[in-house]
Structure 1
Amino acid sequence: MAQASQRIPAVAGLFYPADPHSLHAQVAGFLAAAMPGEMVAAPKAVVVPHAGYIYSGAVAASAYAELTQRRDTIRRVLILCPTHRVYVRGMAVPAAQSFLTPLGAVAVDREAWLAASSLPGVIVDDQPHAEEHAIEVQLPFLQSTLDHFTILPIAVGDADPAQVAAVLEALWGGPETLIVISSDLSHYHPYRQAQFRDKATITQIRQLDATLDGEQACGAGAINGLLLAARRHHLTPHLLDLRNSGDTAGDRSRVVGYASIAFSDDNNHAHH
């Protein structure tokens, strides 16, 4: 079966503007307005939401704004997301060699792809990626904050957190490698109840407690893998923003929670 070498956008014009100029302007606006949260020393990993930009773009921007000082350093971005449409046992990397957005194409990192696809629990399949929005909506932010970078998109399905951590470990690299976990928090609770639930989830993440479930975060599998790896590498999570759709663009009867969290090695950075 012939595989397309390029993955075309599935949610341009739905989750974010399809017109490159409007998209560029919207992302630039979010980044300019991003309020610095806790100061973060060179984040190694970020957890960011993946709803339509009017709902979660401002929250995501608080993490991406932290990357601009490292736009020359970061060369490779591992992007992990849940699978919203296709059941995957384990994890899936795409056969596609690049992901297209209205801002241009982003190449899939060949070396990382070869390393990942040989690991236990990882399959090569374009299907989980074809209609999946959770990685796609991150790309215009990366294209707006980094200079030259490749990506490794990983759709995390029914996977053991230790297996996810093993993939991260194999591709950990140095300062040139950034990990992006695409995940929303609680789904469709009333506003106050969602705030309460999401705060509890954040507390668990701060404790590097890798037992999140899908009710707490749709990307729980990927986050748990990161938390195991973060513990091993002594990374500290910093909450940059925590809001929900009732704060941004939705009504408050049934909301979706969004957080931006950056993980950094706070003990080991040199002050130049």
Structure 2
Amino acid sequence: MIVRPAQVAGKLYPADADDLITDISQNLLYFPVGNTFPYALVVPHGDMTRCGLSSAAAFRHLSKYYPYINNVIIIGCASVGSMGASLPICDEYSTPLGRVKVAQRYMQSLALFPFVHKSDKEHFKSTAIETQLPYLQTCLAEFQILPILIGEMSLLDINSLLASLPLNRKTLTVLALDIDRSEQRCFDHREQQLFNSYLNYIKSENRHIINAEHLGMQNGLNCVNLNYQSYIVH
């Protein structure tokens, strides 16, 4: 059993489990319960003190639908210079809230693509996957994850990868992207390229994307101080 330990607990989010749950719960309660069944969430992956509310605006939409979701695909950008799509070798990810299993069955099918490889080195370096787990562990019951880090890839390969992912009401996709709320663009150009590819993909699937904090603003909450943008895809 190979377990990826928490790399940024105490740095990007609290290392103490009680403090972590308290912070996440407070952020979630800032927003009303969503009425839209989410197909996917687009959320930031930085320091919880800076982007926790933006993440909560999206994850709050899981409140009514958590019993139905037991698989989560988490997609982020790999490190500069990485080629293709990277899957982890590890069996589980660990956070202060416990361990999360990696969906080995789905990984085996994805590994058949010539542009997909396995690398714990990439997944140990990246924080994009780990920073989503505490919110998922708080908002969902039992679930497993399919973590994917995207490096340099052709548009055709990205579309092939996205089209091969499981599509059902038990599966949620989480895109870990730091998007500047004022500019409506990713801070990193590689993340923007991934976001553009995903927007084209969901358009072809007749999906719609909306600002995650839209309901909060409708209910009179002040979201003007949020620096990061999050979205709901339905």
Considering the TM-score relative to the shorter chain, is it more than 0.5?
yes
- Name which of 88, 96, 101 aligns with 2:82: 88
Question: Any conservation in 1 of the 2:179–2:230 contact (CA below 8 Å)?
Answer: no
- 1:247 and 2:222 aligned: no
Match of 1:138 among 119, 132, 137: 132
Whole-Å separation in 2 of the counterparts to 1:159 and 1:48: 22
Residues 1-272 of structure 1 correspond to what in structure 2 (within 5 A)?
Answer: 5-35=2-32, 41-83=36-78, 85=79, 87-186=81-180, 195=182, 197-198=183-184, 201=185, 219-241=191-213, 247=225, 257-264=227-234
Q: Give 5+ residue unaligned stretches, structure 1.
A: 187-193, 202-213, 249-256, 265-272
Structure 1 contact 183–217 (Cα < 8 Å) conserved: no
Secondary structure of the 2:113 match is: coil
- Classify the secondary structure of the residue corresponding to 1:107: strand
Give CA-to-partner distance per residue, 1:136-188, whole Å, 9 cap, x none.
110000001111110011011112233223222212321011110000024xx
Paired residue type of 2:159: A
| Structure 1 moving runs of 4+ over 6 Å | none
Query: Any conservation in 1 of the 2:102–2:147 contact (CA below 8 Å)?
Result: yes
For residues 63-114 of structure 1, the C-alpha deviation after alignment (integer angstroms, 9 at most, x for no partner) is 000012111111111100112x453101100001110000000000011111
Rounded Cα–Cα distance in structure 1 between residues aligned with 2:163 and 2:24: 31
Contact 2:178 2:187 in 1 (8 A): no
The 2-side partners of 1:42 and 1:126 are apart by: 33
SS at match of 1:179: strand
Match of 1:204 in 2: none
- Partner Cα distance (1:62, 1:171) in 2: 25
Q: Distance in 1 between matches of 2:12 and 2:190?
A: 17
Report if aligned partners of 1:184, 1:217 keep a CA contact under 8 Å in 2.
no
Q: Which residue in 1 is equivalent to 2:219?
A: none
What TM-score results when the alignment is normalised by the length of structure 1? 0.77
The answer to whether the 8 Å contact 1:56/1:258 transfers is yes
For the residue of structure 1 that corresponds to 2:228, the secondary structure is strand
Tell me: CA distance 1:68–1:215, structure 2 relative to 1, closer, same or farther (3 Å): closer
| d(CA) in 2 for partners of 1:216, 1:125 | 22
Letter in 1 for 2:47: G
Identity %: 27
